[in-house]
């Protein structure tokens, strides 16, 4: 299986920070590719995200159609899919479990029962991408221009968790069946209505536009919601009484769907609520600020053309992100496709006025750091005393994937010569896969001047599937994979030294595995503090190592302050990763 090369951080990564450019030949850690798409086909050759399965005569018998499915890229890390059908009476997926091959290709059988129309959706486990099978079992006695069924793009069973805003309109796509009906007669046969079953509602949404697309069987409505925070039900009813229905969960705020990047920036700087309703690729850095509450609805934000700096930046007091999924770019380094070493996927920055920021229920993939937080202390008076109050970042239920150095990087701004706590980070329910270090706490004093120090507070996990609140059980590192880098730095002897720390190593044959969870970076002075919950404390083993005189002479280290690393107890070894 072809996979991505990611820089391996040693359990005591003293020399990693000396490597400014990863163009050197480095033996590293590999991560597989994320899913980008799912397609379906009737013959295994012509692929699309939507296909038609059509039957004109059942003759009182059931009929079966084979449909091929492929997940792209073929070497993606997770080929698992699930299916959904809006009408099990017309048709169903015959196979209870669809087994996908190692190349990401599988097949299923659609069993047709009776006349009618439905939509079967194939959904990937990784990324929630969809492909659709439009099923038409046509009764030859029916009027070919009479609309029998309407299906909305949003389904009550699949999309009940989506949030919408009433501050701007939103497009709702739909399909009508039969697809080859005369387009000019569609809207005379279906009745769209808000809150049909709530006639006493004082305020109701409205349909401001309705259109039939050039694609047979497809159209859309432009909807305005009532300016109330509540569930707003939209239906269409055919002349035969068949209904399509979706309940919109509506609050104040703006919808991101069919918007330009300039319009998106206006929303994310508004200080209000923002709701992302489709995958977007940002052409330049995205700023979310002024207390904006960004609801990603689990749709992806990609940034294929940003190769340096921070892709998404959060500023402003009480700015927050929820259900956001940011995927960083990849680059080619000597034939290896790797996450960009020069990109920080998400940077959250405090100031004297921006004191608290948070990210919850999210996934951040690739980059030098998945997330970087940077605090600033506020000098204020409490009970008649002058005190410094740290800025606060809350990171809860976040998955970190594919960071070259660290999933969560904690840093501070300049504070002067005093020992000042600039940054407090409260975390819970974090998981890490294919990252160098889980959490990295940077130096308090460094080449760019005197900085504050950080406090990391780890709360007890509330996840039934995680081993603790800093779950690196899927993030084991093979120490021997660092040999190429160490040879280049002329310190291969360090590898032998690391292998002597038997209490933190899982040995399997000739391989030595470690799982680094937290590192307090050494070299220059570091006053950072860590407060762990009881369970996480019991799962971690702390090791320290002071740089040798030769190592301390390197400008990227610049001192002999010890590196402190917390590693996962090797009893949690998960079997490593395929190469």
Task: Locate 551 and state its tokens.
Answer: 């190592």
> pTM for the full model?
0.91
Spatial CA neighbour of 40 closest among 136, 127, 120: 120
Q: Tokens 């409260």 map to which residue?
A: 426
Q: How many residues does the chain have?
A: 579
- H/E element, 7: none
C-alpha torsion 521→525→527→531, nearest 10: 20
**Residues paired with 344 in a beta bridge:** 310, 369
Residue 447 CA to residue 462 CA, distance in Å, equals 40
Beta-strand pair 421-428/453-458: parallel
Beta-strand pair 449-450/406-412: unpaired
Averaged confidence pLDDT in the chain:
85
Q: What is the pLDDT of residue 340?
A: 74
pLDDT tens sequence across 213-262: 999 999 999 999 999 888 999 999 999 999 999 999 999 999 999 999 99
Local structure of 152: helix, strand or coil: strand
Q: What is the pLDDT of residue 487?
A: 59
Q: What is the pLDDT of residue 231?
A: 92
The DSSP line for 52-113 is EEEES--TTS-EEEEEEEEEESTTBS---EEEEES-TTTEEES-SSPPPPTTSEEEEEEEE-
pLDDT beneath 50, residues of the chain: 1-29, 577-579
Q: What is the pLDDT of residue 509?
A: 83
DSSP state of 557: T
The DSSP line for 488-526 is HTT-THHHHHHTT-GGG-EEETTEEEE-EEEEE--BS--
Name all domains of the chain by residue range, CATH numbers in brackets.
4-29+298-572 (no CATH), 35-126+129-162+169-252 (2.60.40.10)
Q: How would you class 197 by CB atoms within 10 Å of its CB: exposed for 0-12, middle for 13-18, buried for 19 or more?
A: exposed
Q: Give the CA distances from residue 196 to residues 201, 316, 365, in Å, rounded to whole numbers and listed in that order.
A: 10, 41, 43
Is residue 415 a contact partner of residue 458, using CB atoms and an 8 Å limit?
no
Between the two ends of the chain, the Cα-to-Cα distance in Å is: 8
């Amino acid at each position: 299986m072809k996979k991505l090369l990611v820089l391996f951080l040693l359990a005591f990564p003293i020399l990693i920070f000396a490597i400014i450019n990863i163009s050197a030949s480095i033996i590293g850690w590999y991560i597989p590719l994320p899913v980008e798409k799912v397609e379906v086909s009737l013959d295994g050759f012509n692929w699309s995200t939507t296909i038609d399965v059509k039957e004109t005569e059942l003759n009182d018998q059931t009929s079966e159609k084979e449909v091929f499915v492929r997940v792209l890229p073929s070497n993606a890390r997770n080929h698992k899919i699930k299916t959904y059908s809006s009408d099990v009476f017309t048709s169903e997926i015959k196979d209870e479990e669809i087994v996908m091959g190692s190349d990401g290709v599988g097949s299923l059988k659609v069993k047709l029962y009776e006349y009618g129309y439905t939509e079967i959706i194939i959904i990937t486990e990784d990324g929630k991408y969809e492909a659709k099978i439009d099923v038409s079992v046509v009764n030859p006695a029916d009027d070919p221009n009479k609309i029998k069924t309407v299906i909305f793009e949003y389904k009550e069973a699949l999309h009940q968790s989506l949030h919408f805003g009433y501050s701007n309109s939103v497009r709702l796509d739909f399909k009508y069946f039969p697809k080859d009906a005369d387009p000019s007669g569609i809207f005379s046969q279906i009745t769209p209505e808000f809150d049909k079953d709530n006639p006493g509602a004082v305020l109701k949404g409205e349909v401001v536009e309705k259109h039939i697309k050039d694609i047979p069987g497809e159209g859309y409505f432009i909807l305005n919601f009532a300016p109330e925070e509540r569930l707003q039900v939209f239906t269409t009813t055919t002349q035969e009484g068949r209904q399509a229905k979706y309940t919109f969960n509506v609050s104040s705020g703006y919808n991101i769907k069919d918007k330009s990047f300039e319009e998106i920036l206006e929303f994310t700087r508004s200080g209000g609520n923002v709701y992302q309703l489709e995958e977007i690729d940002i052409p330049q850095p995205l700023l979310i600020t002024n207390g904006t509450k960004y609801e990603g609805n689990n749709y992806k934000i990609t940034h294929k053309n940003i190769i340096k700096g921070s892709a998404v930046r959060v500023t402003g007091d009480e700015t927050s992100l929820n259900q956001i999924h940011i995927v960083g770019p990849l680059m080619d380094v000597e034939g290896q496709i790797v996450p960009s070493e020069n990109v920080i996927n998400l940077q959250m920055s405090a100031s004297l006025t921006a004191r608290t920021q948070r990210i919850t229920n999210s996934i951040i993939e690739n980059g030098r750091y998945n997330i970087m937080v940077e605090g600033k202390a506020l000098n204020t008076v409490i009970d008649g005393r002058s005190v410094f109050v740290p800025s606060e970042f809350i990171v809860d239920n976040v998955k970190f994937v594919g960071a070259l150095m660290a999933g969560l990087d904690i840093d501070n701004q300049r504070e002067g010569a005093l020992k000042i706590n600039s940054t407090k980070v409260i975390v819970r329910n974090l998981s890490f896969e294919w990252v160098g270090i889980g959490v990295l706490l940077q130096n308090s004093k460094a080449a760019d001047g005197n900085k504050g120090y950080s406090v990391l507070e780890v709360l007890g996990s509330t996840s039934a599937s995680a081993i603790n609140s800093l779950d690196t059980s899927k993030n084991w590192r093979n120490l021997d994979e660092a040999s190429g880098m160490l040879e280049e730095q002329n310190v291969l002897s360090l590898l032998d030294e690391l292998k002597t720390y038997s209490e933190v190593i899982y040995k399997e044959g000739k391989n030595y595995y470690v799982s680094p969870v937290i590192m307090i970076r050494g070299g220059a002075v570091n006053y950072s503090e860590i407060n762990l919950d009881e369970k996480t404390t019991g799962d971690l083993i702390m090791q320290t190592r002071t740089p040798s005189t030769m190592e301390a002479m390197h400008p990227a280290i610049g001192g002999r302050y010890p590196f402190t690393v917390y590693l996962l107890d090797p009893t949690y070894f998960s079997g490593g990763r395929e190469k």
